[in-house]
Amino acid sequence: MKSFAITYNEKIESSVSVMLELKKVLADNAIFADSFDIDNLKSGYDFVFVIGGDGTILKAARFYAKTATPIFGINLGRLGYLSQSSKENIKVSVEKILKGEYRIETRIMLQSCDKIALNDFVVKGTTTGRTSRFSLKINGKLVCDYLADGIIVTTPTGSTAYGLSAGGPVISPKLNAFVIVPICPHTLTARPIVIPDNEIITICSDKDLTNYVVSTDGQEFYEFAKEIEIKKSEYPAYLALLDGVEFYSILRNKLHWGTSPAQIV
C-alpha cells in the first residue's frame, strides 16, 4: 500500500481523539496518514480508515466506490454493523491490516440517475401520515400496485437495515440479488420480493400525488413526479474485512440473531 487516509465524523463524540490515536498507531509503524472530516472527503488513496457509525461508513463507501478504494470501519456508533473494529481494538486491527490479514469484499450497490446507494433506496409520498399508491414494474413489465407508506429497494448489504425492520429477509452479501419491500402495505397479499441484480426496477407514482420523495441510504433526499428507475450500479463498494470475521458471526454478535431475549446482556 502506498497511501493511507483517515476520515472521521466530527459530529460524533470522541471521533477526533480516536483519529489522533489511530494516526499515532500508524506512525509507530512508520506510516503517515492524511486525515479529514467525512464532509470533506478526498480521493487518491490506497486504503481509507473510516471512524464513526454506519452512516459515516455508508457515505464513505459511496464516495470511494468510484475509485475502487477499500475502506475499513472503526465503530463509534450504536450498532456498527458495517464496522470491523472498535476504538478499543485499533492497535490490533492495524497490526492485522499491515500483516495482510484481511480481505477486500466487493458489495453490489444500487443506482438511480447519478445517485448510488450501498444499503437502499426508499420511496415515499410527500403527504405525511397517509398511505400512497405505487406501481411496481420490473424490466418494464407491471408486477403489482401497492397502497403503502413506501417501498424499500435494498441490496444484500442493506437487507439487515431498514428492509429488515420492514419485514424483509436477510440476504447474504455473496448473493447477486435485490429485495423490494413494501412499508406497511394496506393488504395482506403484499410481500417482499427477491429479484436478480441484473433486473431494472421502476416505481411509478400515483397520478393524484404531485411528488414522491426518494432517500439514498437515508442520507440524501430528492423528489420525483412520475417514475424512478433503480438498477445495479456499475460501481461496487470495497469493504476491508479482517480474516476470521464473516457474515454469520456478525449476525450473531451484532444483531443477536436467533438469541433468546433472556440471553441478551
Q: Is-catalytic flag, 54?
A: yes
Bridge partner residues of 252 (DSSP): none
Distance from C-alpha of 74 to C-alpha of 52, rounded to nearest angstrom: 6
Q: Which CATH superfamily is domain 4-108+236-263 in?
A: Probable inorganic polyphosphate/atp-NAD kinase; domain 1 (3.40.50.10330)
Predicted confidence pLDDT, tens digits, the chain (265 residues): 689 999 999 988 889 999 999 999 999 999 999 999 999 999 999 999 999 988 999 999 999 999 999 999 998 866 666 877 877 888 999 999 999 999 999 999 999 999 999 999 999 987 666 788 889 999 999 999 998 999 999 999 999 899 999 999 999 999 999 999 999 998 888 899 999 999 999 998 776 666 789 999 999 999 887 889 999 999 999 999 988 777 777 777 666 666 655 555 5
Q: Which of 28, 39, 46, 54 is catalytic?
A: 54
CA 265 to chain centre: 27
pTM: 0.90
Cell numbers representing residue 70 in the block: 477499500
User: 110-232: CATH homologous superfamily?
Assistant: Probable inorganic polyphosphate/atp-NAD kinase; domain 2 (2.60.200.30)
Q: How many CA atoms lie within 13 A of 195 on its CB side?
A: 21
Ranges of each domain in the chain: 4-108+236-263, 110-232
